[in-house]
Amino acid sequence: MTTLMRLAATAASAIEPGALPPADHRPWPVPREPWVMAQTWERLLFVHWPVAPAALAGLLPPGLALHTRDGHAWLAVTPFHLTGLRARGLPPVPGLSRFHELNVRTYVIAGGKPGVWFLSLDAESAIAVAAARRLYHLPYFHARFAETVDGGRVRYASRRVHPGAPAAELEVVYAPVAPPAESAPGSLEWWLTERYCLYTVDDGRLLRAEIHHAPWPLQRAEATFTRNTMTAGHGVHLEGPPPLLHYAQRLDVVVWPPAAVAA
C-alpha cells in the first residue's frame, strides 16, 4: 500500500465496527480476538526528550525493561483531543466520548514486544479517569483543560486537580510546519511512535494491551512552552537539547483488553 493511500485511510471516517486499518506495517500480527474499544486522537503533539536510562529505570515494574536507542531512554509529553470514544458495537455516548487528554510516556519492552509505559495520563473526563483506572489499571488523573485553535495553531493548557495527586501543569502553543508523511522504517521518528501495545500492572502482574492504527501521519512541528511540570512528580528533570516535535492532525485507534504477559 502506498504512502498516499495510507494517509488517506488515516484521514477517513472513524473505524467502523468490524473494520481495521491495513496491518502490513505492524511488527507483529493483529490479535485474533475482537478489539473492545475505539477512539480518535486529534491535534496531537509529540514532545520527545532523550533521558538518561538511570532516570527512568526505577519507575518501571519487575519484568519490564526500558527500550533504549543509542544509549538513551526517551520520554514524551503528548497533549491531544480525544473524540469518538466508544465500546465495540456501540455508538459514542454524548457527553462522555469527547475530552482533552495529556500523557507522559516512555518506551519499554517485554517478551520481545516494544511498547509504551505511561508515567501519567491526565484527562478532562472524571468518568473516563475512573473507568480507565479500573479496567486498564493505568495512572489516570483528573485535570482541567483549555484549548483554542486558530487556524493550524493550538493553544493548550492543563492543570491536574485529582485529589491527592502530585501537581502537574502544561501550557504550550504548537503548530505543524510541514506536510504529513509516514516515518521511514528504522528512523528515530518511526521507533518512537510506531508502537502497538501498552503495558500496565495489576496487583503485581504485568499486563499488555494491544492497540492498532494506521501509520502515524506525522508533521514536523514548532512549540513554545510557558509552563511544563508534567515530569516533576516523577523526579525527572528535562534538560539538554531542545526536544523533538511532531504533530498529527488525526489518528483512529482500536484497543484490546489487557492480558497477562507470559513470564
Say what the pLDDT of residue 3 is: 38
Cα of 49 vs its chain's centroid, Å: 15
DSSP string, 160-175: E--TTPPP-EEEEEEE
Q: In this predicted model, what pLDDT tens digit does every residue of 224-253 receive, in sequence order?
A: 999 999 999 999 988 778 999 999 999 999
Say what the pLDDT of residue 4 is: 33
Q: pLDDT tens string for the chain (263 positions)?
A: 443 334 333 333 455 544 688 899 999 999 999 999 999 999 999 999 999 999 999 999 999 999 999 999 999 999 999 999 999 999 998 888 999 999 999 999 999 999 999 999 999 999 999 999 999 999 999 999 999 999 999 999 999 999 999 999 999 999 999 999 999 999 999 999 999 999 999 999 999 999 999 999 999 999 999 999 999 999 998 877 899 999 999 999 999 999 999 87
Provide the grid cell at 219. 508533521
Q: Bridge-partner residues for 159, per DSSP?
A: 144, 169
DSSP string, 114-168: EEEEEEEEEES-HHHHHHHHHHT---EEEEEEEEEEETTEEEEEEEE--TTPPP-
Q: Considering the domain 3-10+36-260, what is its CATH architecture?
A: Beta Barrel (2.40)
pTM comes to: 0.91
Say what the pLDDT of residue 131 is: 92
Give the angle 89-93-99 at the CA atoms, nearest 5°. Answer: 120
Measured from the Cβ of residue 103, the count of other Cβ atoms closer than 10 Å reads: 20
- Distances, alpha carbon 168 to alpha carbons 147, 158, 159, 161, 180, in Å: 17, 8, 6, 9, 31
Say what the pLDDT of residue 13 is: 41
Cα of 81 vs its chain's centroid, Å: 11
Say what the pLDDT of residue 239 is: 78
Domain boundaries, the chain: 3-10+36-260
Say what the pLDDT of residue 20 is: 81
Say what the pLDDT of residue 241 is: 85
| 102-19-84-37 Cα dihedral, nearest 10 degrees | -60
Express the helix, strand and coil content of the chain in percent, nearest 5 each. 15, 50, 40
Residues in the chain: 263
